[in-house]
């Protein structure tokens, strides 16, 4: 269920065609959950300022049920920062990465919360 969202003021034409797939593979390896569980969301062409400037910038959100915490987040930041900076050509000091730990009752798939899916699987 991990969700990784990237919002940027870059035009869609400046985002490499392979970016989403490469990010999906990187995130799956990084977090240790199967790629088929990930949702990667890209939002180019955003009206954004960072530090009062319209220079290329981004906001990255990583949310997951578990696998988020102080130690993990530092590891994820050290992996995601160079990847995003290199692939999108955005300086590493021009984006934030937000990490959110979600509860199984906060996310649903196929009409049931993840908590309900887990309860059903345990029977």
Query: What residues are labeled active site?
Result: 2
Indicate the burial class of 80 (C-beta count within 10 angstroms; 0-12, 13-18, 19 or more): buried
Q: CB neighbours of 99 closer than 8 A, spacing ≥ 6?
A: 62, 63, 68, 72, 73, 76
- Residue 66 has a CB neighbour count (10 Å cut-off) of 15
CA distance 16 to 93: 21
């Amino acid at each position: 269920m991990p969700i990784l969202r990237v919002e940027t003021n870059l035009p869609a034409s400046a985002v490499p065609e392979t970016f989403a797939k490469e990010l999906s593979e990187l995130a799956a390896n990084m977090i240790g959950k199967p790629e088929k569980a990930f949702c990667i969301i890209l939002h180019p062409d955003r009206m954004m300022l960072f530090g009062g400037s319209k220079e290329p910038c981004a906001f990255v959100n990583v949310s997951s049920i578990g696998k988020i915490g102080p130690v993990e987040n530092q590891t994820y930041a050290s992996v995601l920062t160079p990847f995003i900076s290199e692939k999108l050509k955005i300086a590493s000091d021009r984006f934030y990465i937000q990490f959110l730990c979600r509860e199984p009752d906060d996310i649903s798939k196929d009409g049931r919360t993840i908590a309900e899916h887990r309860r059903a699987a345990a029977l």
